[in-house]
């Protein structure tokens, strides 16, 4: 996994030392433990939604230069209702 985003999080001393202890036990960094906990707690629904959003963005990019002026929206809707 390529790490591309940075964020800052303020923690209480208790939370920080608990994370630090977990990191030491697992041989990881505190950041690594936080990423692991985040990944364990993101729901499948959220992951699916992110995948759909990415797909829609890719589709927008694919059709950005297409001429859609002759497209009949109502016909497309009716066609889609068949399936």
Report the 3 state secondary structure along the chain. CCCCCCCCCCCCHHHHHHHHHHHHHHCCCHHHHHHHHHHHHCCHHHHHHHHHHHHHHHHHHHHCCCCCCCCCHHHHHHHHHCC
Chain segment 43-68, per-residue pLDDT in tens: 788 888 888 999 999 999 998 888 88
Chain segment 1-44, per-residue pLDDT in tens: 799 999 999 999 999 999 999 999 999 999 999 999 988 888 78
């Amino acid at each position: 996994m390529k790490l591309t985003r940075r964020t800052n999080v303020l923690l209480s001393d208790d939370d920080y030392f608990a994370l630090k202890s977990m990191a030491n036990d697992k041989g990881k960094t505190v950041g690594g433990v936080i990423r692991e906990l985040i990944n364990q707690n993101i729901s499948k629904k959220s992951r699916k939604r992110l995948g759909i959003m990415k797909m829609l963005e890719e589709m927008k990019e694919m059709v950005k230069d297409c001429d859609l002026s002759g497209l009949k929206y109502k016909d497309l809707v009716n066609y889609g209702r068949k399936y």
